[in-house]
């Protein structure tokens, strides 16, 4: 059952636990609030009391789960969940893989290139999120490491790949023809370890975003990636860490921040245990923030 829920909601095990917890606590608070409100209504007849009680429960439940979802870090999930329910009730169906309603069905399609160097766990979540999306398409996976897991993920999903080499890449313009051939309009970095050259940034102004496994401006810059970031956070004694999603400019981890989410640093944490918590945040938020950012730009330019 839990595996089916994970697939249906596109969440990992940690987020599934938090989602179920939010449902449970939100439901309990809904019942308590509805009973409290019923004490203020002078109704004696059991049938009418029951009808009013169910009505109040129905009105109160969305508010309660949203309130509970905030401290548990699941606000985005439940906001989108409630929007889907509202769409079904109104008779306006949304695409099953799109967690946010499209503001304009006449918007053009934006082709994305995912740049990745490693196993591709974030790339997989992004690909799953946009499968069948009416405005956003993953059109290319760009990789700089032969045998990287992200190449297998691209193959599984029928997405073309482009292997790049260091010297031509840092010239800046070398791979622009291949990107233009695929109609790429937006670049998403998902564990890509090379610095983006100025020429590529100039070709895609404010159309390249990255995710960093810490709360920028802390723990950013050259050499600050993966385990090195988590080791620095633990060495500092900080009580929280998180993720930063930002636009890419000519400096490492310097572009304007789009979104941040936090998680606690627990006593006894290791770089590996903190990394696992950070990965959960990445998987939960990165695809949705990408979607919101791209749709906002499409609306603005339409």
Sheet holding 161-163, edge to edge: 161-163, 136-143, 110-116, 184-189, 208-212, 240-247, 257-264
Q: What is the number of alpha carbons within 13 Å of residue 58 lying toward its C-beta?
A: 8
Crossing angle of helices 121-130/271-301, nearest 10°? Answer: 30
Pairing of strands 240-247, 208-212: antiparallel
The C-alpha atoms of residue 40 and residue 45 are separated, in whole angstroms, by 15
E strand residue ranges, 21-151: 110-116, 136-143
> 3-state DSSP: the chain helix, strand, coil percent, rounded to 5?
50, 15, 35
Catalytic residue numbers read: 212
Return contacts of 26-32, CB within 8 angstroms, 24+ apart. 26/61, 26/64, 26/65, 26/67, 26/68, 26/69, 27/61, 27/64, 27/65, 29/64, 29/67, 29/68, 30/57, 30/60, 30/61, 30/64, 30/65, 31/57
């Amino acid at each position: 059952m839990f595996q089916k829920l994970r697939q249906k909601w596109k969440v990992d095990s940690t987020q599934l636990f938090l989602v179920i917890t939010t449902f449970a606590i939100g439901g309990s608070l809904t019942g308590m609030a509805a009973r409290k409100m019923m004490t203020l209504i002078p109704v004696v007849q059991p049938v009418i009391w029951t009808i009013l009680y169910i009505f109040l429960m129905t009105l109160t439940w969305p508010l309660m789960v949203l309130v509970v979802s905030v401290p548990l870090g699941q606000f985005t999930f439940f906001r989108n969940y409630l929007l889907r329910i509202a769409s079904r009730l109104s008779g306006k169906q949304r695409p099953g893989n799109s967690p946010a309603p499209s503001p304009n069905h006449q918007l053009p399609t934006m082709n994305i290139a995912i740049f990745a160097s490693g196993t591709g766990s974030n790339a997989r979540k992004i690909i799953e999120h946009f499968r069948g999306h009416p405005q956003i398409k993953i059109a290319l996976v760009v990789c700089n490491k032969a045998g990287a897991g992200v190449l297998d993920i691209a193959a599984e999903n029928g997405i073309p790949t482009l292997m790049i080499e260091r010297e031509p890449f840092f010239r800046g313009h070398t791979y622009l023809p291949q990107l233009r051939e695929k109609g790429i309009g937006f670049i998403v970095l998902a564990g890509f370890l090379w610095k983006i050259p100025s020429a590529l940034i100039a070709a895609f102004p404010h159309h390249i975003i990255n995710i960093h496994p810490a709360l920028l401006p802390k723990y950013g810059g050259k050499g600050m990636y993966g385990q090195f970031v988590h080791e620095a956070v633990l060495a500092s004694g900080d009580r929280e860490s998180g993720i930063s999603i930002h636009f890419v400019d000519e400096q490492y981890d310097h572009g304007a921040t789009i979104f941040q989410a936090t998680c606690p640093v627990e006593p006894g944490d290791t770089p590996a245990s903190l990394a696992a918590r950070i990965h959960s945040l990445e998987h939960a938020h990165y695809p949705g923030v990408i979607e919101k950012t791209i749709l906002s730009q499409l609306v603005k330019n339409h």
